[in-house]
Each structure stands twice: as structure tokens, then as C-alpha cells.
């Protein structure tokens, strides 16, 4: 939500009421939880996996050396 500059200055100078501060804290907590959940989901989606299959050798083939 966008507030006029005069209202923002008033709030900066006078502070928030307890109810307003509580609402801000709740929103901040919800945002933090959502970002944490998003980070975990992205971490699972892009987790490094072994993408190459091990090389299978043909039966009976001798390697040199």
C-alpha cells in the first residue's frame, strides 16, 4: 500500500501504535517464513545429483596396464 509523503513523515516522527507495530511484526514473520520455505523448496529442486551413470564395462573385456 502506498501512503502520501506527509503521512509517512508523520508516522516516522510519531511512531506506530501498539496494534500497528504488532501487525507489522506479524507481516514480517509471515514474510520470513515464506522466504525460508521458498529457499528450502528451491534447494530441493536444484540439489546437485549424480547425473552421469557409471561406465559399464563389457563382460570379459580386459583393460590394459
pTM, full prediction: 0.53
Residue 39, domain extent: 17-46
CB 53: neighbour CB atoms within 10 A? 6
54 found inside a domain: no
53 found inside a domain: no
1 found inside a domain: no
- Counted domains in the chain: 1
Res 51: pLDDT: 61
31 found inside a domain: yes
62 found inside a domain: no
> pLDDT of 16-54, one tens digit each?
899 999 999 999 999 999 999 999 999 988 887 666 566
30 found inside a domain: yes
64 found inside a domain: no
CB 24 within 8 A of CB 16: yes
Closest CA to 28 of 16, 10, 13: 16
Counting every residue, how long is the chain? 65
In whole angstroms, how far apart are CA 43 and each of 33, 36, 59, 63? 15, 10, 40, 41
12 found inside a domain: no
Extract the C-alpha cell encoding 49.
Answer: 545429483
Amino acid at each position: 500500500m502506498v501512503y502520501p509523503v506527509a503521512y509517512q513523515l508523520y508516522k516516522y516522527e510519531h511512531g506506530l501504535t501498539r496494534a500497528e507495530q504488532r501487525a507489522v511484526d506479524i507481516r514480517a514473520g509471515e514474510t520470513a517464513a515464506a522466504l525460508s520455505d521458498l529457499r528450502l523448496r528451491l534447494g530441493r529442486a536444484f540439489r546437485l545429483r549424480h547425473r552421469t551413470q557409471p561406465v559399464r564395462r563389457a563382460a570379459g573385456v580386459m583393460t590394459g596396464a
